[in-house]
């Protein structure tokens, strides 16, 4: 069953803590993306990666970090420098050359 998985579905964090969100895909896609969604808003791009060991900042990268050590995995770390981390986080992937992005189910992060 091919697709994109994100875990956990809900995540709670205390202020000042770093937290890592998981994103895994078995679609053999080269490109992966992280978005943030706030209530009633569209998605905003945090980071993206076109190939392994390479990634680029999106529109709202401050306070976030990523790694791309494997083609199928693109974890996102929300650091303590992110002042307003409570949001819905979505991961997506696409096949280079086709460019249609397919999204995972999302992780809702809540800062306590």
Partner 1 sequence: DAKTTQPTSMDCAEGRAANLPCNHSTISGNEYVYWYRQIHSQGPQYIIHGLKNNETNEMASLIITEDRKSSTLILPHATLRDTAVYYCIVRVREGATSGTYKYIFGTGTRLKVLA
- 3-class secondary structure, 59: coil
Distances (CA, A) of 65 to 3, 52, 77: 23, 15, 5
**Binding segment toward partner 1, per CB under 8 A, in 14-22, 40-48, 67-75, 76-84:** 40-48
| H helix runs in 7-59, sequence order | none
Does 106 sit near partner 1 (CB under 8 A)?
A: yes
- Give least dist CB 67 to partner 1, A: 18
Q: Does 41 bind partner 1 (CB under 8 A)?
A: yes
CB burial string 5-28: b at 16+ within 10 A, e below: ebeeeebebeeeeebebbbbbeee
Taking each continuous run of H as one helix and of E as one strand, the counts in the chain are 0, 11
- Span 65-104, contacts to partner 1 by CB under 8 A: 88, 90, 92, 96, 99-104
Binding mask 42-61 for partner 1 (x = CB under 8 A): xxxx--x-x-----x-x---
Q: Which residues are at the interface with partner 1 (CB under 8 A)?
A: 4, 40-45, 48, 50, 56, 58, 88, 90, 92, 96, 99-106, 108
């Amino acid at each position: 069953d091919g697709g994109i998985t994100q875990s956990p579905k809900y995540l709670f964090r205390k202020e000042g803590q770093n937290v890592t969100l998981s994103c895994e895909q078995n679609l053999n896609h080269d490109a992966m993306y992280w978005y943030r969604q706030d209530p009633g808003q569209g998605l905003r791009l945090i980071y993206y990666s076109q190939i392994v060991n390479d990634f680029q900042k999106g529109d709202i990268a401050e306070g976030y970090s990523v790694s791309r050590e494997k083609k199928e995995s693109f974890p996102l770390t929300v650091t303590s420098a992110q002042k307003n981390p409570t949001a819905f986080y979505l991961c997506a992937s696409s096949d280079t050359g086709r460019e249609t992005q397919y999204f995972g189910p999302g992780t809702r992060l809540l800062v306590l």
